[in-house]
């Protein structure tokens, strides 16, 4: 697993912790669980529409970039009740840059020999630094939620903190929760398969609104 230092436990713990996380989180991703997140999704979509409206008809919009912000902010709010506020800044949250940098380096490492990777001290240092930065954001969110519980919030973080295995009574450790949080956001790499079709759909809809209504 190429990105295991970023989003996974050490190899010896992967199966046990993955199985526990999968068992506890599957209900959250069911139809009822997703429905509880609709209000947060609408919140972020409204920010996108308002951003475009305020730009005016003469402004050129980078739809692909904005859809990436949409996905990133939606996952942040639905999963952790955390606002990255990417629609209120010219640049995305630093987490996105750290994530992009580590994924790029992980991809390059797959093409190198172990010796070459070990000799690239600057790349390794940057990789470790960005990974630690992402982990710190997640750890801070976990500690903040523990210090100030929000039992009424319907998000994945509450589920990860409060859920217990009915057979063993075991819950997720803080470290495992951190890895799950990073995994949710790293999965945004799949946006490359989603953003372009979404852009094409939006273009077709805007060109022939009557046809697609």
pLDDT digits (tens, 9 = 90+) for 123-156: 999 999 999 999 999 999 999 999 999 988 888 9
Which range (100-104, 182-186, 200-204) has the least confidence? Answer: 200-204
Share of the chain above pLDDT 90, in %: 35
Q: Determine, yes or no, domain membership for 3.
A: no
Q: Determine, yes or no, domain membership for 2.
A: no
The tokens describing 146, both together, are: 């523990």
Q: Determine, yes or no, domain membership for 179.
A: yes
Q: Determine, yes or no, domain membership for 213.
A: no
| DSSP structure string for 35-86 | HTTHHHHHHHHHHHHHHHHHH-TTS---HHHHHHHHHHHHHHHHHHS----G
Helix 174-186, helix 63-80: angle, nearest 10: 160
Count Cα atoms within 13 angstroms, Cβ side, for 16: 10
Q: Determine, yes or no, domain membership for 30.
A: yes
pLDDT of residue 1: 41
Q: Determine, yes or no, domain membership for 5.
A: no
Structural domain span for residue 151: 10-206
167 CB-contact burial (10 Å; exposed 0-12 / middle 13-18 / buried 19+) = exposed
Q: Determine, yes or no, domain membership for 211.
A: no
Within 8 A by CB and 6+ apart from 157, the residues are 79, 80, 81, 141, 142, 145, 177, 181
Q: What is the pTM of this model?
A: 0.81
Spatial separation of the C-alpha atoms in residues 108 and 105, rounded to whole Å: 5
Region 79-92: mean pLDDT is 91
Spatial separation of the C-alpha atoms in residues 186 and 131, rounded to whole Å: 12
pLDDT of residue 7: 56
Q: Determine, yes or no, domain membership for 4.
A: no
What secondary structure letter does DSSP report for 188? G
- The CATH number given to whatever domain includes residue 35 is 1.10.630.10
Element (H, E) at 181: helix 174-186
Number of domains the chain is built from = 1
């Amino acid at each position: 697993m190429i990105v295991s230092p970023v989003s996974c436990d050490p190899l010896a713990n992967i199966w046990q912790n993955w199985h526990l996380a999968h068992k506890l989180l599957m209900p959250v991703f069911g139809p009822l669980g997703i429905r509880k997140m609709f209000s947060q999704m609408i919140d972020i979509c409204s920010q996108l529409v308002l951003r475009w409206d305020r730009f005016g008809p003469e402004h050129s919009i980078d739809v692909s970039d904005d859809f990436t912000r949409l996905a990133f902010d939606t996952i942040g709010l639905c999963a952790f009740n955390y606002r990255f506020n990417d629609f209120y800044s010219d640049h995305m949250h630093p987490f996105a840059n750290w994530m992009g940098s580590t994924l790029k380096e992980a991809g390059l490492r797959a093409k190198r020999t172990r010796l070459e990777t070990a000799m690239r001290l600057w790349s390794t240092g940057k990789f470790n630094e960005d990974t630690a930065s992402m982990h710190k954001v997640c750890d801070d969110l976990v500690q903040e939620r523990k210090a100030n519980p929000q039992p009424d919030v319907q998000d994945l973080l509450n589920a990860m903190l409060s859920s217990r295995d009915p057979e063993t009574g075991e819950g997720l450790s803080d470290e495992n929760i951190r890895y799950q949080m990073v995994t949710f956001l790293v999965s945004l790499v799949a946006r490359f398969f989603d953003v372009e079709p979404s852009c094409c759909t939006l273009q077709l809809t805007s060109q022939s609104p009557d046809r697609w209504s």
